[in-house]
Amino acid sequence: MRVRRLFAAGFVAALTAAILLFAACDEQSDVIDPEAQGPPAPQWSYVSTTASEGITLEWTDVATGEVGFIIYRSLALGGFTPYDTVAADVEEYEDQEVTSGTPYYYQIRTRDPIGRLSDPTPALWAIAADNESPDMPSSPSPANKSFDLVFPGLVTLTWEGGDTDSGSLTRVVYFGDSRAALAEVATDLPDNSYTLDDTLARSRFYFWRVRITDDQGATALSPTWSFGTKIERIEIPAGHFFRGDCGIFHPADPSRFCPPENPTYAAAFDIDKFEVTNQLYAQFLSELIEDSWIVVENGRVYSTVGDTLFAKVYPDGDEDSGIRFVPDHNGGVFVPRSGKENHPAIEVTWHGARRFAHYYQRRLPTEVEWEKAARGTTSTWGSFTYVSGEETLSIGLGNPYPWGATPQANYFNYVNSGDPFESRVDLSTTPVGYYDGSSQGGYNTGCNCSPYGVYDLAGNAAEWCEDEFVPYQGGSYGGMRLIKGGGWRSMPTWCQVFWRQESHPDSSDNLIGFRTAAAQ
């Protein structure tokens, strides 16, 4: 939508009265609580076009329920005064009262229904002159939405885009691991490339965009691009292993813990080294909503195909979720909550976990795969001998916990385990891979990795498996799906590798997360 400034005596008088009323309301503390937080300022404001007869401003509206925006203008950098108003939900304004060849400066503020104003945007400038705006930056490298990329060292970002009639361009790059918190990392670049200062972490999405401004102040702002680094995975070799318990490690419950007598064979597969994080799952949801595959209703994320619940998000869906939904005029984006980026994604249904896996050409692990990856085939606690035809197999029983037989408090996150996160008032998950045998902020952890090197298979977040829950001794649980591993509010016993739990595939819980797997 384009809003043009129409000058007439009545309009100017009404505008002046409205601005005076705004100021008067702001001065009345009995009307406006000065301690109350005002609305958010518009983001990503810039001058999109310049001409001798007008200057066009654009911005991103991130407020909800605002009554509109106030445009401030000045002929110098500073001394801004209210100049015009724009209706709510508008993201563009054209100033048509300009003098050709004159520079102008602008700021924009959001106004809410009770008269509070946001902070002003950074100052914008432009010259009222006929001018071609810079080309929209395009063709990013790494490619937008590329995933599972391997970077051996520093990464260079590149893009295409220039200006046909400007001899001087200012290039600015914004970069970060959250869409909602991109930081300026470079300015005044000589060409369309920038090498990042640091190597990138694995299993992480990164976001960036580029702003190009010409010598008349006209700007082209790229979309927000993303790419994902290599997800760390562990290859598990094919072979037989001992499954279940049958009274070896604790009193037996045959219906849950005693599989058939013969050992179980697992074909070769790989499995995520860590649980899927809020950062990864938020990006997945953002891509789905961009392509209209999901909708958000009262904090609940539903598939547009089949109306299936995928997840609940903070705060309306569930206060425990580590993912926040930020609505905008293009549908919205999902971002991890501050401090929760590297915690396991929870409040995700079996459907939502499975859709994530399929989106990246993977799947959820089967119970057989999950349990083999967790317990291994070590013979420390005994072995199982099995005769198959002329072959005799001796198979180690593996570990009852991924690291051994003792539920040591500093090895995994369970109820009242005493980890530093339990002292907080919010959800007590720990970052994935937190228990790696190192000192974490003065807290000495043991390594909870399995014999194959997979982390957090006990505690933190219990994990969805692909399988329907079927008791070992037969029967049905009505389509319930299987959960393994126990979580942050589980008793230690429930975190043993053979422990079996179940939940409805449409349900979500602050205890349940997931990881993905694939056949080799």
Cα–Cα distance, 132 to 143 (Å, whole number): 27
- Res 330: pLDDT: 75
DSSP reduced 3-state for 94: strand
Give the strand order in the sheet containing 481-484: 501-503, 481-484, 462-468, 512-513
- Res 197: pLDDT: 86
Q: Any idea what the Cα angle at residue 469 is, between residues 358 and 480, rounded to 5°?
A: 75
Element (H, E) at 356: helix 350-359
Please provide the average confidence, as pLDDT, over all residues in the chain: 90
**Burial status of residue 77 (CB atoms within 10 A of its CB: 0-12, 13-18, 19 or more):** exposed
Contacts (Cβ under 8 Å, ≥6 apart) of 247: 258
Six-digit token string for 505: 């595939």
Cα–Cα distance, 322 to 340 (Å, whole number): 6
- Res 247: pLDDT: 87
309-313: long-range contacts (C-beta < 8 A, 24 or more apart)?
309/349, 309/351, 309/352, 309/506, 309/508, 310/285, 310/348, 310/349, 310/351, 310/352, 310/355, 311/281, 311/285, 311/345, 311/347, 311/348, 311/349, 311/352, 311/508, 312/347, 312/508, 313/285, 313/347
- Res 356: pLDDT: 98
Residue range 240-259, pLDDT digits in tens: 999 999 888 887 888 899 99
- Res 36: pLDDT: 59
Closest CA to 238 of 377, 74, 99: 377
**Burial status of residue 519 (CB atoms within 10 A of its CB: 0-12, 13-18, 19 or more):** exposed
- Res 425: pLDDT: 60
Contact indicator for 230, 149 with CB cutoff of 8 Å? yes
Cα–Cα distance, 174 to 385 (Å, whole number): 60
Give 28's pLDDT tier (boundaries 50, 70, 90). Answer: very low
pLDDT at position 286 over 70: yes
- Res 426: pLDDT: 66
Closest CA to 407 of 370, 379, 446, 378: 446
Partners of 210 in beta bridges = 173
Read off the pLDDT of each residue in 179-203 and give the average, rounded to a whole number.
92
Contacts (Cβ under 8 Å, ≥6 apart) of 490: 414, 415, 459, 462, 511
Weakest-pLDDT range from 10-14, 96-100, 288-292, 368-372:
10-14
Element (H, E) at 285: helix 278-290
Contact indicator for 283, 349 with CB cutoff of 8 Å? no
Read off the pLDDT of each residue in 268-294 and give the average, rounded to a whole number.
97
Q: Measuring CA to CA, how many Å separate 326 from each of 39, 60, 279, 514?
A: 14, 12, 14, 24
Cα–Cα distance, 267 to 520 (Å, whole number): 8
| DSSP character string of 372-438 | HHHHTT--TT-EEEEEETTEEEEEE---SBTTBS---GGGS--TT---GGGGSSS-----TT--BSS
pLDDT at position 368 over 50: yes
Residue range 122-166, pLDDT digits in tens: 999 999 999 999 999 999 999 999 999 998 888 999 999 989 887
Cα–Cα distance, 413 to 417 (Å, whole number): 6
Residue range 56-74, pLDDT digits in tens: 999 999 888 899 999 999 9
Tell me the H-state helices in 111-205: none
- Res 251: pLDDT: 78
Residue range 464-476, pLDDT digits in tens: 999 999 999 888 8
pLDDT at position 387 over 50: yes
Domains of the chain: 9-127 (2.60.40.10), 138-229 (2.60.40.10), 233-274+363-519 (3.90.1580.10), 278-341 (no CATH)
DSSP reduced 3-state for 282: helix
pLDDT at position 228 over 90: yes
Residue 72, CB half-sphere, CA atoms under 13 Å: how many? 20
Six-digit token string for 160: 């295409």
pLDDT at position 9 over 70: no
Residue range 342-355, pLDDT digits in tens: 999 999 999 999 99
Contact indicator for 117, 109 with CB cutoff of 8 Å? yes
Q: Any idea what the Cα angle at residue 10 is, between residues 8 and 16, rounded to 5°?
A: 100
Cα–Cα distance, 41 to 111 (Å, whole number): 9
**Burial status of residue 205 (CB atoms within 10 A of its CB: 0-12, 13-18, 19 or more):** buried
Contact indicator for 300, 309 with CB cutoff of 8 Å? yes
Residue range 71-85, pLDDT digits in tens: 999 999 989 999 999
Helices 350-359, 278-290: crossing angle, 10 deg rounding: 80
DSSP reduced 3-state for 290: helix
